[in-house]
Amino acid sequence: MATLIVFLGVVASGLLPFNFFPDIEGDQVDVGIKLPFGAPVEETRRVQRLLEEAAAKAIETHGGPQYSLGMMSSLGVGMRNRGGSEETGSHVAMLELDLVPQDEREFTTAELAATWRELTPPLVGVESVVFSSAIGPAAGTAVDVQLAHADVRVLAEISEKVENALRGYPQLTSIENTYAAGKPQLDFSLKPTARHLEITSADVARQIRGGFFGAEALREQRGRNEMRVMVRLPENERRSEFDIEQMRIATPAGGMVPLSYVADIKRTRSATSIVREEGRRIVNVRAKLAPGVPSARPVLESLEASFLPELHRAYPGLEVEFAGQQREQAETFSSLLLNIIFAQFVIFALLAVPLRSYILPLIIMSAIPFSLIGAFLGHLMLGYGLSIISVFGIIALTGVVVNDSLVLVTTAVWSRDEGASAHDAIVGAGVRRFRPILLTSLTTFFGLAPMILETSVQARFLIPMAISLGFGIMLATPVALMLVPANYMIVEDAKNWLARRRARKEAALRGPLAEAPVD
């Protein structure tokens, strides 16, 4: 009991870190670049070249180009987001650096990504540079603060503060703010003069579009192709914003007036994308864990303790919640809990029916909580953190660990039916079933050992599950041979105590005048 409490405390305190999904070491480092929307393609290419040069230096630092299989640069295509779509435009780019397999190099992709990031010079005017070296399902980032507010300008200000706060944590890297100011645009509002000239906003919009984009003057069919003839201003009159200001607008009366005479021009920005959730406009500020950081738990606790309460006091109406892995974790565990309860009830029913007892299944299932010690100990010994894959292994372990206890208790029941006492029955069952119990645990553990020791990328997804199952079943041997017999005798002692108490009550009810028993 003390050992179980200690190991539960190790997990609760964070000494054995928990990440919803483990970072799986891959053989590729991806870098996503994002500049402000509308940035010239030359500027994006310049940033791309700086990162390419930094990548070459990073490879040299870790041993030379023999560890690299090549690098691919994509201009105009960004990294895939969680929904699987890619952002496109002249303001985004992506680099993919392929490395030799892990067993052929002495460094990890995370170490190379960290060196690449350090050797990259300061990039002025870049919204985000995201380094990624892990592979696996898109379970979200380790820290994802989701913000919602009715005022878009306030939302932009808050997201900037959250971004600066996350940059202050050395445990985090690749900070990304999804708020984008948008692409620049010109807004036109009519002056009172336009109404006197009977010019409407539709007239102004149509003439500006026709002058710069073109108006369709003719459409004719030529064979299987359709040809459109567009009419617009000469090229030297539509090169800059100054040409817009100098543009002349035709009036219904047939005259021409300057655009600035009938409309005010204001420079603004238009959002390239608007993300809403449950009708609220949201902005996410995300960050990944730095190499070597086991868990995001200290950062999340720090944000909840001080920073987020200050934001709520400073900005009334602000809604903040953790998305990313934290949300996925909450949703997954909420559904798993009900299924685990149902599975334990089914196990209890399957044991209770053939044993014809409600107590014996509980004695057998008492080994389940203590199998957690083996699962936690295995992760500590091999240097792995807990994850949802580890939890799946623990769930499978609850069904497997019952086997040893079932063999022991069933043998004890058979001995009781033959007239043996409870103590002699359970001790004899331990002696008779020691070899089957030990062999069951050893064969299961060594059967899982190749998966636990495997280093390939394809197998690393299942290693935490194998650790939970293998080390947990190994602990089932001492639990079945020591804890289950002790619980069995505790139940027998309780039965005897209740029987003696019942006998004393019956004797008291008969009273002193009751007839003495006849020999």
* 415-468 residue pLDDT tens: 988 888 989 999 999 999 999 888 988 998 999 999 888 877 667 778 899 999
Give dist(CA 417, CA 439) in Å, integer: 27
Q: Give me the chain's average pLDDT, please.
A: 86
Calculate the CA 272 to chain-centre distance. Answer: 26
How many CA atoms are closer than 13 Å to the CA of 96, on its beta-carbon side?
11
How many helices (H) and strands (E) would you count in the chain? Answer: 19, 15
Q: What is the DSSP letter of 237?
A: G
pLDDT at 83: 47
pLDDT above 90: residue 180: no
pLDDT at 431: 92
pLDDT at 84: 47
Give the chain's domains with CATH numbers.
Answer: 25-177+282-324 (3.30.70.1430), 183-270 (3.30.2090.10), 328-508 (1.20.1640.10)
Asked if residue 171 lies in contact with residue 298, where contact means CB atoms within 8 angstroms, the answer is yes
Mean pLDDT for 353-380 is 90
Mean pLDDT for 467-474 is 91
Percentage of the chain modeled with pLDDT above 90: 20
pLDDT at 424: 92
Q: Give the 3-state secondary structure of residue 238.
A: coil
pLDDT at 138: 56
Tokens linked to 422:
């409870």
Alpha helices, DSSP H, located in 356-433: 359-365, 367-382, 388-400, 402-417, 422-432
- What single letter denotes the amino acid at residue 198? E
Q: Write out pLDDT tens, residues 83-132.
A: 445 677 888 899 999 988 877 888 888 888 888 888 988 888 788 888 88
CA dihedral 13, 19, 24, 30 (to 10 degrees): -120
Backbone angles phi, psi at 424, to 5 degrees: -65, -35
Give dist(CA 473, CA 470) in Å, integer: 5
Give dist(CA 224, CA 446) in Å, integer: 71
What confidence category does residue 136 fall into, taking pLDDT thresholds of 50, 70 and 90?
A: low
Q: Give the 3-state secondary structure of residue 75.
A: strand
Backbone angles phi, psi at 491, to 5 degrees: -65, -40
How much of the chain is in helix, strand and coil states, percent to nearest 5?
A: 55, 20, 25
| DSSP string of 139-205, one letter each residue | ---SEEEEEE-S-HHHHHHHHHHHHHHHHT-TTEEEEEE-----EEEEEEEE-HHHHHTT--HHHHH
pLDDT above 80: residue 330: yes
